């Protein structure tokens, strides 16, 4: 296999229309690199730490009582104790009791450097973007009374910041409808969107700006499902909450969709495996092949069942983001009217969430330029023109370039093909992480294995020839290997919700022997709709 052909397979990954020849790459034998997915499973520093939880359930509100928060709190406290937490439980707490408990909780976390979990069930409200947890003794005659008679969420968050403990989980089942009764209408339902502080996961029973069900049984809908998933052995914390989100969404027919914000850097288990270790290359490859086989069978399904089964089994899977998009499409066709996150650019506590518009249509055009990063020189320009869109694919030009609806490449102009890459995802928020592993098949039939870990690292202004955009920055790190040996990959791109493809994309590829194979930047020059 010629040198140029070996390396072109890698070079074309992030620029399907690229035709420039790469020079000077040397062939090498396969190099064993540890999978980033395997490394992500290792977080032993957390498991020797004490675990502390503060659980509060408020039901007996004089003007608007609730059936389940006390039941919820008792059940959550019991489940946390079974997973090694020391639990302080407050039931039907007044404001002073809540403030004292929160202060004591923060001091305990600080003194023992414990993993912390705070859970609240009851009424909550937002005012001027701030979130408030409502005590049972709060007498609120106007919204001006809320700051002095409720407990602001920031009181808790500031205590956690001072504690400097390694990890915190905040769970708020506090979005019931109108906490102050019919006599005092509120401007905005539910809670306001907050970004998780460093080293924490913030979970809401429903999406910001929406309300949650108090449940028809002994527990609220959200907590009922959370209790079940907390029992699951060897489940990572983010997988626990993703499964809860799926279950609540389906039970409520899309009227309640839980929401999380995370800044966790390490995996955490409520019930950890007996041995936590990284997967070998062989084990990681076997898992990939098993998951890929499932995804290939269901990716075009028009039934929700197979997609739900996949997402329950692989909530953070290698195809979970594109599977979620497909499930969204299938449920919309079945009549679901999914609620949306209520977000506003004026919110000082959140960078917001970008929901990507996938409604491409024939005639849409995107013009890009390519720049050599080292020299700053423009090397070429090209235009991508949409000619046809199906339920799962976008076809450009004469059909020689095909992507999925999110822009992930499926077929390149020279016939090369991808198997389920998820570089681009349906929504972006600060701290979001996901993985991608796929097989890349060259025109010669040779296979290349590629893997990435992605994270949304910032929201910032980016300027390109098409304009200035308020965009999320995504960074990815990974590897690929094939006949040319092992190549380290870095990818960075910027995405904004009102543009249906990336604003800018930077690629850096370096051979394991040190040779730089690719170092360039793509910038959007103009785009228009058909």
Please choose, from the candidates 178, 172, 173, 124, the residue with its C-alpha nearest in 3D space to the C-alpha of residue 151: 124
All CATH 3.40.50.1460 domain ranges in the chain, comma separated: 48-262
Question: Are 530 and 41 contacting, i.e. CB atoms less than 8 angstroms apart?
Answer: no
Half-sphere exposure of 84 (CA within 13 A, CB side): 14
> b/e per residue, 217-241, with b = 16+ CB within 10 A?
eebbbbbbbbbebbeeeebbbbbbb
DSSP run (H or E) holding 102: helix 95-112
User: Above 90 in pLDDT, residue 261?
Assistant: yes
Quote the pLDDT of residue 363. Answer: 94
All CATH 2.40.360.20 domain ranges in the chain, comma separated: 3-11+353-528
User: Above 50 in pLDDT, residue 263?
Assistant: yes
CA angle 203, 205, 208 (to 5 degrees): 80
- What is the residue whose two structure tokens read 């002095």? 148
Quote the pLDDT of residue 189. Answer: 77
Quote the pLDDT of residue 178. Answer: 64
User: Above 90 in pLDDT, residue 455?
Assistant: yes
Instruction: Give CATH for domain 3-11+353-528.
Output: 2.40.360.20
Q: What is the mean pLDDT of residues 7-27?
A: 32
For the segment 379-396, what is each residue's pLDDT rounded down to a tens digit? 999 999 999 999 999 999
CB contact set of 195 (below 8 Å; sequence gap of 6+): 202, 261, 263, 349, 350, 351, 429, 430, 431
Please choose, from the candidates 143, 138, 205, 139, the residue with its C-alpha nearest in 3D space to the C-alpha of residue 171: 205
Question: Are 465 and 523 contacting, i.e. CB atoms less than 8 angstroms apart?
Answer: yes
For the segment 326-374, what is each residue's pLDDT rounded down to a tens digit? 999 999 999 998 888 887 788 999 999 999 889 999 999 999 999 999 9
Sheet with 130-133, edge to edge strand ranges: 124-127, 130-133, 151-152
Distance CA 13, CA 305 (A): 33
Instruction: Give CATH for domain 48-262.
Output: 3.40.50.1460
């Amino acid at each position: 296999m010629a040198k140029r052909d070996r390396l072109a397979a890698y070079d074309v990954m992030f620029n399907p229309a690229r035709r420039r020849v790469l020079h000077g790459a040397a062939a090498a034998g396969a190099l064993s690199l540890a999978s980033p997915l395997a490394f992500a499973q290792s977080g032993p520093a957390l498991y020797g730490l004490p675990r502390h939880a503060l659980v509060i359930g408020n039901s007996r509100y004089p003007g608007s009582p609730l059936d389940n928060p006390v039941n919820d709190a008792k059940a959550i406290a019991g489940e946390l104790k079974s997973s090694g937490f020391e639990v302080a439980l407050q039931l039907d707490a007044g404001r002073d009791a809540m403030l004292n408990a929160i202060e004591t909780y923060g001091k305990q976390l600080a003194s023992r450097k414990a993993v912390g979990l705070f859970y609240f069930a009851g009424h909550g409200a937002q005012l001027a973007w701030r979130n408030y947890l409502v005590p049972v003794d709060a007498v609120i005659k106007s919204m001006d009374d809320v700051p002095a008679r409720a407990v602001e969420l920031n009181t808790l968050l500031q205590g956690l910041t001072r504690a400097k403990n390694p990890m915190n989980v905040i769970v708020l089942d506090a979005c019931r409808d109108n906490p102050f009764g019919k006599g005092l209408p509120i401007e905005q339902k539910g809670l306001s969107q907050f970004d998780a502080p460093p080293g924490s996961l913030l979970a809401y029973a429903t999406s910001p700006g929406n309300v949650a069900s108090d449940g028809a049984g002994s527990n609220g809908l959200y907590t009922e499902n959370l209790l079940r998933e907390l029992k699951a052995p060897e489940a990572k914390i983010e997988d626990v909450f993703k499964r809860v989100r799926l279950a609540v969404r389906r039970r409520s027919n899309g009227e309640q969709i839980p929401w999380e914000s995370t800044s966790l850097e390490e995996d955490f288990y409520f019930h950890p495996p007996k041995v936590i270790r990284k997967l070998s290359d062989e084990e990681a490859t076997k898992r990939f092949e098993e998951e890929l086989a499932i995804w290939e069978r269901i990716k075009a399904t028009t039934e929700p069942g197979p997609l739900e089964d996949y997402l329950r089994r692989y909530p953070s899977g290698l195809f979970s983001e594109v599977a979620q998009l497909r499930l969204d499409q299938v449920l919309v066709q079945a009549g679901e009217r999914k609620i949306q996150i209520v977000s506003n650019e004026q919110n000082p506590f959140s960078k917001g969430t970008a929901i990507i518009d996938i409604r491409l249509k024939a005639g849409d055009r995107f013009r890009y330029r390519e720049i050599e990063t080292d020299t700053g020189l423009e090397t070429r320009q090209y235009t991508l023109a949409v000619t046809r869109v199906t339920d799962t694919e976008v076809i450009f030009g004469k059909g020689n370039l095909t992507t999925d609806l999110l822009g992930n490449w499926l077929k390149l102009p020279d016939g090369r093909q991808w198997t389920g890459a998820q570089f681009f995802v349906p929504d972006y928020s600060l701290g979001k992480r996901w993985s991608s592993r796929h097989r890349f098949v060259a025109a010669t039939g040779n296979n290349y294995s590629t893997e990435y870990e992605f994270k949304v690292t910032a929201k910032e202004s980016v300027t390109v020839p098409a304009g200035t955009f308020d965009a999320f920055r995504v960074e990815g790190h990974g590897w690929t290997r094939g006949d040319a040996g092992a190549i380290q990959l870095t990818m960075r791109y910027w995405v904004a919700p009102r543009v249906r493809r990336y604003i800018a994309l930077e690629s850096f590829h370096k051979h394991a022997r040190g040779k730089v194979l690719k170092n360039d930047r793509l910038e959007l020059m103009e785009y228009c709709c058909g």
